Homo-oligomer: A and B are copies of this chain.
């Protein structure tokens, strides 16, 4: 039985304001941060946790986030570097459905898509202030059509994902743990991967953008419920302690350069 391997797929960068990254703390000013996905080669199949943003979508809907993404930094581009095709991915897990975490879902046409049940609900009935967060529903053409007020008439060749929703903490495959970390969104999940040769990796996703957020116990300004967000950040700390896990942050310009990327992997 082969060891589980974890690859980090570089997805380019975006710009937000310092007051977005550090709620009410700042300082203000442009902050460029990385986006990435996590590929897990597991005995049960290939999983991808989050799929980054779609450059065209951001350019069209949120150009002020100034996307910088090369063709190599798309999901197909990153997979190609590992001699994989999008069709080789069996499962997509989305921490949540903000545009910068699901933009590449649409390429993964053979995958079964896992998310928290509340997160799929949120795609249909988000709060007005979550409008931009949930702006890229291209991974779910029927939801997108409903949102746009158009009748759902997906062409036959449009990807229609097989959703599987989950609730609660779950070991979805041996050593792959989803932990509920709501607040940033209604149904946010973080992911822990247990490995044979090193400490577990605990991917916070947007429950904590960066080490600095954790050090300051400061959530991001993009949130549904700041009280829950703060509890989730505290929970991540406890989980890391309990499992002796290493925290990997979702948008950390300081930590990301130290992570292994490309064909290097964790196992």
Contact = CB atoms under 8 A, between A and B. Distances in A.
Interface of A: 17, 19-20, 23-24, 26, 28-29, 127-129, 217-219, 221-227, 230
Interface of A is mostly: loop
A230 B224 CA distance: 12
Given A24-B221, A221-B23, A230 B17 contact: no
A224 B229 CA distance: 11
A225 B17 CA distance: 22
Contacts of A226: 127, 129, 223-226
A227 B226 CA distance: 11
A213 to B, nearest CB: 12
Contact of A23 (B26, B29, B129): B129
Given A224-B227, A225-B225, A227-B224, A219 B19 contact: no
A68 to B, nearest CB: 21
5 contacts: A17-B19, A20-B24, A23-B129, A24-B222, A223-B226
Nearest to A26: B17
By CB atoms of chain B within 10 A, which of A24, A28, A219, A227 has the most? A24
Contact of A20 (B19, B29, B223): B19
A20 B17 CA distance: 12
